[in-house]
Amino acid sequence: MSSPDKRLPRVGITVGDSNGIGPEIIVKTLRDPRLLTLFTPVVYGSSRLLAYYKKALDESGFSYTTLRPDAEPNPRQINVVNCWEDESLIEPGNPTKQSGQHAAAAIMAAAEALSKGDIQALVTAPIHKSNLPQDRFPFPGHTEYFSQYFQVRNSVMLLVSGELRVGLVTNHLPISQVASAITPELVFSKLRVLYRSLQHDFGISKPKIAVLGLNPHAGNDGMFGDEEARCIMPAVLDAQEKKALVFGPFPADSFFGSGKHQAFDAVLAMYHDQGLIPFKTLAFGTGVNYTAGLPVVRTSPDHGTAFDIAGKNLADPDSLRAAAFLALDIARNRALIGLPEPA
């Protein structure tokens, strides 16, 4: 019979850009020994990098063990998988070609571990998209990489903080391309992924979803654009015909300020800033980015690399800690309810 420790879920954590705040917030999160009673952390990055931050943060009690990629993680210990061997300079605050290569190497190693079941969930620290090696990582972000790696046709970038959940129809897309990308098929596919995720990942049996419009005042009956009538409303009606509690499109400018979001289990925004500006205004520092629709569990903090404060012992680990807890919750819900069907 397995010991209770060996039954603890294994949660991977990638270091992100090694010159950003990722390594700092990982050390600050995992220095609390109580977390080791909840899950077994497996950090994908570099033991040398963690040793640097252990010293820089004066965390003499912070300890970890180095783990071979194919070895069983040690329960009640912090496990570190070395994803690179070079002894490049650690330069907090300075995104370099090597720090981008290191970030990609950690992500790829963690993705393989996820696919093999070596870890049950993954938390990804922030990356800097412009210095990632395009020949190995030609993606605008984690969401797109994991969607392709796990061969998922549709996924949803979902920002979560408590009962506030905001999903996106388009992710890292220039604003000049958003309107042409919005189609009834795309909006409906995102609604379907979001609906199933709310049921299976968050345990909400009959989720209620609000859909935002694209144009000012949701088009104002076509005066400011016809995407609402032509692209968004057909998807809403299609979802309603399938007995889903989906409503909208609502004018985006007043939706959050008026508190309407509190009446829904999730909100589907049309583009990145339409969803993230109100979300971060309401939940900055506590939010989590979750990729809904994957056959695996992947979360991340809702902030970036913050090079301006990297290495200064100013980074707040709350969002990374929240990402780890959400990953645990979703993994447990899936174990109880089952994995959503691919959309």
Q: Which residues pair with 210 in a beta bridge?
A: 247, 267
For residue 31, give its domain range: 1-152+294-343
pLDDT value at residue 336: 84
143/243 same-domain check: no
SS3 288: strand
What does the block give as tokens for 210? 């609000």
283/313 same-domain check: no
Task: Give me the number of domains the chain comprises.
Answer: 2
Sequential DSSP letters for 186-206: HHHHHHHHHHHHHHHTT--SS
Looking up residue 66, the CATH number of its domain turns out to be: 3.40.718.10
Q: Among the listed ranges 5-19, 52-66, 71-85, which one has the minimum average pLDDT value?
A: 5-19
How far apart, in Å, do the first and last CA atoms of the chain sit? Answer: 38
Task: Quote the CA–CA distance of 275 and 168 in Å, as a whole number.
Answer: 7
pLDDT value at residue 343: 64
181/303 same-domain check: no
123/33 same-domain check: yes
The mean predicted confidence, pLDDT, of the chain is 93
196/185 same-domain check: yes
Tally Cβ neighbours within 10 Å of residue 286. Answer: 17
pLDDT value at residue 2: 38
Confidence of residue 340 (pLDDT cuts 50, 70, 90): confident
pLDDT value at residue 3: 41
pLDDT value at residue 110: 96
